[in-house]
Structure 1
Amino acid sequence: MTATTHPIVSRDRWIADRKALLAQEKELTQAQDRLAEARRALPWVRLHTDYVFDTVDGPRALSDLFQGRRQLLVQHFMFGPGWEQGCKSCSFMADHLDGMALHLAHRDIALLVVSRAPLADLQRFRARMGWQFPWASSNGNDFNRDFHVSFAPEDRQDGEVYYNFHLTPFPQTEAPGISIFYKDDAGDVFHTYSTFGRGVEVMMGTYGLVDLTPKGRDEAGLSYTMEWVRHHDRYEDTPAGAACCGGAKA
């Protein structure tokens, strides 16, 4: 897209077109409000397994990871055992967490990132990326498989796995997602919501700003491959040793 190929109009014409677009934006905002209300009205599922994770504080059950809050937002981060590093797209998501954590905490929401890789590998990568959020390893439990973000060979049926609430081809052993949990006064934990596929874009605040610009995401067709995204310390013009959010450096 260039100024020679894109329509150039008067300010009055631009205002008229912008008002027409504004009407569509308002419709979308109202539809999103209705959708959020319907999401909150979903029934909950009581968890009968208090999954135990490996954390920097030792083994901790899911019910112990709410950090004194009632609501827990879990990012299912693609980082499997034996991987050299975490998924670049999941890293793009995670780059947004530290800036949101304080604000979410004041809405009674704790953050937790969960992956199947051993804790030592998670901590090594976390230090490289400069992140501060808590990251737990589910390597010793069935959490990832139960929430359909990790797939064993026996989970495949004719090359498909159950992901995003339906059977679909998925070539990798790990998948991205977000799950929400609630803990009541009795200490019982409930699964209230999960989103997968493009639903995880809710964590990618950068995309919301990119979508406002003329070039947009610059991603071809409907593939949304995120080919332009890199680990934030791997962009070609990133200064050596740079890290996100003022944390540890590589």
Structure 2
Amino acid sequence: MSITDHPVISREQWLQARKQHLIHEKAFTRQRDQLSAERRALPWVKIDQPYRFQGPKGQLSLAELFGGRSQLLVYHFMFGAGWEDGCKGCSFLADHFDGANQHLAHHDVALVAVSHAPYAEFQAFRQRMGWRFDWYSSAGDNFNRDFGVSLSAEQLTEGSATYNYERASGGEEELPGLSVFYRNDQGEIFHTYSTYARGLDLLVGAYNFLDLTPKGRNEQQIMGWVRHHDRYEEASKNKGSSGCGCED
């Protein structure tokens, strides 16, 4: 339906249509609650690998990323070795982290970002973006590969690379995702969940606002309009794609 010829009705007719739609909204809310319960009920995998990360104070273990909490959300931020900027789609999503972290930190949850590039290589970009959330490097470690967000050129050439639980369809070596971990009182760590591509929409609060508007997300290409938050004026003169693997 075109926004230019959208039907216009009386207030009484609108209320009837709105009440009918509310029935569907409530059903969706119940379905979402059920899906979330199913997600929490998924079986876990114990982490035995001694993953190592680099931070501002040197090397850290996966356990140290929890910051004393029992639950850890790791956002796999697309920033590869030699890059000057992070992925625009990942940056759009990461713009929501600092606000959420003010609350998550008081609900036994740590939210951090991890990228494949060496730690020093994304510090200038981080400063430019003005972010405060913890952001670590997994350079030299298998963490990104094991959690399906860093693919080798050989895998892509052979057609053996997988992303989002199926064969990778693109040629990108770095891809976005989110992985969730739990640490019990004995210090054991478990992988409980990972999601990729469109599964990351849940983390984008701005999308929830856009979905309420008459034009919605208004995307010709998923995240094609998104830019680093300091470059929207510049981007309005030169339109292009976001370069983020979030299409599926």
Task: Please give the TM-score of this superposition, normalised by the length of structure 2.
Answer: 0.91
Work out whether 1:66 is the aligned partner of 2:30. Answer: no
Task: Quote the RMSD (CA, aligned, Å).
Answer: 1.6
Show the counterpart of 1:154: 154
Mapping for residues 106-145 of structure 1, pairs under 5 Å: 106-145=106-145
Q: 1:195 Cα deviation (Å)?
A: 0.5
Show the counterpart of 1:230: 227
Show the counterpart of 1:104: 104
Show the counterpart of 2:32: 32
- Give 5+ residue unaligned stretches, structure 1: 239-250
Show the counterpart of 1:241: none
Q: 1:171 Cα deviation (Å)?
A: 1.8
Rounded Cα–Cα distance in structure 1 between residues aligned with 2:3 and 2:217: 18
Write out per-residue CA displacement over residues 186-243 of structure 1, whole angstroms, 9 at most, x where no aligned residue: 21110000001100111100000110000111113xxx421111100001089xxxxx
Is this contact kept in 1: 2:53–2:136, CA < 8 A? yes
Secondary structure of 1:102 counterpart: helix
Mapping for residues 1-250 of structure 1, pairs under 5 Å: 4-156=4-156, 158-159=158-159, 161-220=161-220, 224-236=221-233
> AA paired with 1:143?
F
1:31/1:161 Cα in 2 relative to 1: closer, same or farther (>3 Å)? same
1:153/1:21 Cα in 2 relative to 1: closer, same or farther (>3 Å)? same
1:235/1:116 Cα in 2 relative to 1: closer, same or farther (>3 Å)? same
Secondary structure of 1:156 counterpart: helix
Show the counterpart of 1:244: none
Write out per-residue CA displacement over residues 133-154 of structure 1, whole angstroms, 9 at most, x where no aligned residue: 0110001100000001000023
Rounded Cα–Cα distance in structure 1 between residues aligned with 2:155 and 2:3: 51
Q: 1:155 Cα deviation (Å)?
A: 2.2
Rounded Cα–Cα distance in structure 1 between residues aligned with 2:201 and 2:140: 28
Rounded Cα–Cα distance in structure 1 between residues aligned with 2:43 and 2:157: 29
> AA paired with 1:78?
M
Secondary structure of 2:110 counterpart: strand
Task: Please give the TM-score of this superposition, normalised by the length of structure 1.
Answer: 0.90
Is this contact kept in 1: 2:156–2:171, CA < 8 A? no
- Give 5+ residue unaligned stretches, structure 2: 236-248
> AA paired with 2:215?
K
Rounded Cα–Cα distance in structure 1 between residues aligned with 2:43 and 2:21: 36
Secondary structure of 2:193 counterpart: strand
27-36 vs 152-161, greater mean Cα deviation? 152-161
Rounded Cα–Cα distance in structure 2 between residues aligned with 1:173 and 1:22: 43
Is this contact kept in 1: 2:84–2:122, CA < 8 A? no
Rounded Cα–Cα distance in structure 1 between residues aligned with 2:157 and 2:29: 39
Secondary structure of 1:218 counterpart: coil
| Alignment: residue pair count | 235
> AA paired with 1:233?
D
Rounded Cα–Cα distance in structure 2 between residues aligned with 1:138 and 1:189: 18
